[in-house]
Amino acid sequence: MKKHKGLRLAAALLVLLLLAGCGAGSGAADSTAAAQGAVTEESYDAALTETGSDAASDRKLITTADLSLDVTDFDAATGEIERQVEELGGYLASSSKGGSAESANRWAEYQARIPAQRLGAFLDSAGGTGTVISLTQGTTDVTSAYVDNEARLESLRTQEERLLELMAQAEKLEDLILLEDKLTEVRYEIESITGQQKLYDNQVAYATVSLYVNEVSRETITAPTFADRIAEAFYGSGRNFLQMLENGLILLIYMLPMLLVVLVIVAVVLLSVRAGRRRRAKRTPPPPPPPQAGV
């Protein structure tokens, strides 16, 4: 009996140590708990050494770029951009287009995912389809977070193995329930961190490019002269005036049936008023003649 009691006590102690190691690690200061903490630190150092050995050449960098273009041939430019995305092994995460060809004010907005090592080739190709208005690039280094996640995963998998061993040895139902609950928490953390690592891998492997394409009547001049600005103002004013006339004519055609109905109603009302005045004029007797003097 004492032997079984000692085994149960040892199992209970191991469970408590596991709970203390996975928690905040606040109060336990005995030698066994310190050893548990040392395992976690050693796992972190091992992961850091393994991942950081080639950190100078293979860091975890998330790259983003924003590119804005003015183009004169909208169809050719957008077609070339979409072709380049596919040819370079990327894909369009989102795309939207608007405007009209008649007004030469079409636009397109893309969010493209391009293999990071081919980002420069894509930006050069896309920039060649028109005039580059703005281009910004940025990187975010997530190496430290990535290494930390790897160390946490290693520690959690070690805890998972120990919990499974304890569950195989558990004799009491309450001990088994406690171990199952802890195993569920550990596995949930493993899945969560694994998902975050996959997201990091995707963001590192594919650069995110936000691309805006704007159609113009002619390519934007970097430093327009005063004469160019006056000509552009006259051209824009004339185009807006013609567009206003077109819109007014379309609105008139659209409202024509309603205007005809209103005109008919007004004509009927006017005719009714005139007919009423004539009837009242016939019913009213003429005024008596004025008296003649000397009669």
pLDDT tens digits, one per residue of 119-152: 999 999 999 999 999 999 999 999 999 999 999 9
Residues 247 and 146 in one domain: no
Q: Which of 50-54, 106-110, 263-267 has the lowest mean pLDDT?
A: 50-54
CB-CB neighbours of 24 under 10 Å: 6
Q: Average of pLDDT values for 88-100?
A: 93
| 92 vs 30, residue with greater confidence | 92
Residue 245's pLDDT band (boundaries 50, 70, 90)? confident
Confidence of residue 63 (pLDDT cuts 50, 70, 90): very high
Lowest mean pLDDT among 29-33, 37-41, 51-55, 171-175: 29-33
Q: Residue 229 pLDDT more than 80?
A: no
Q: Which domain holds residue 251?
A: 227-255
121 contacts 161 by C-beta, under 8 angstroms? no
CA distance 273 to 88: 79
114 and 213 inside one domain: yes
**Do 115 and 15 share a structural domain?**
yes
Question: Would you say residue 203 lies in a domain?
Answer: yes
Residue 105 lies in a domain: yes
DSSP, collapsed to helix, strand or coil, labels residue 279 as helix
What is the average pLDDT value for the chain, to the nearest integer?
79
Q: Is residue 284 part of a domain?
A: no
Q: How far apart are CA 264 and CA 266, in angstroms?
A: 5
- pLDDT > 60? residue 178: yes
| Residue 230 in this model has a pLDDT that exceeds 50 | yes
Please indicate, yes or no, if residue 276 is contained in any of the structural domains: no
Does one domain contain both 215 and 233? no
Q: 41 and 61 share a domain?
A: yes
Q: Answer for the pair 61, 196: CB distance below 8 angstroms, yes or no.
A: no
The reply to whether 99 and 145 lie within a common domain is yes
pTM of the model: 0.55
For the cut 90, the answer to whether the pLDDT of residue 97 exceeds it is yes
Within this chain, do residues 114 and 154 fall inside the same structural domain, yes or no? yes
- What's the pLDDT at 18? 52
The per-residue pLDDT for 39 is 36
Do 206 and 232 lie in one domain? The reply is: no
Report whether pLDDT(75) > 70.
Answer: yes
Residues 194 and 237 occupy one common structural domain: no
Q: Are residues 134 and 42 in the same domain?
A: yes
- The per-residue DSSP string of 146-198 comes to HHHHHHHHHHHHHHHHHHHHHHHH--SHHHHHHHHHHHHHHHHHHHHHHHHHH
**Is 231 a residue whose pLDDT tops 70?**
yes
With respect to residue 145, please indicate whether it lies within any of the assigned structural domains: yes
293 assigned to some structural domain: no
Cα dist from 231 to 70, 88, 107, 221, 225, whole Å: 19, 41, 24, 13, 10
CA-wise closest residue to 211 among 61, 73, 82? 82
pLDDT at 214 over 80: yes
Is the domain of 112 the same as that of 235?
no
Query: In this structure, are 7 and 60 located in the same domain?
Result: yes
Number of structural domains in the chain: 2
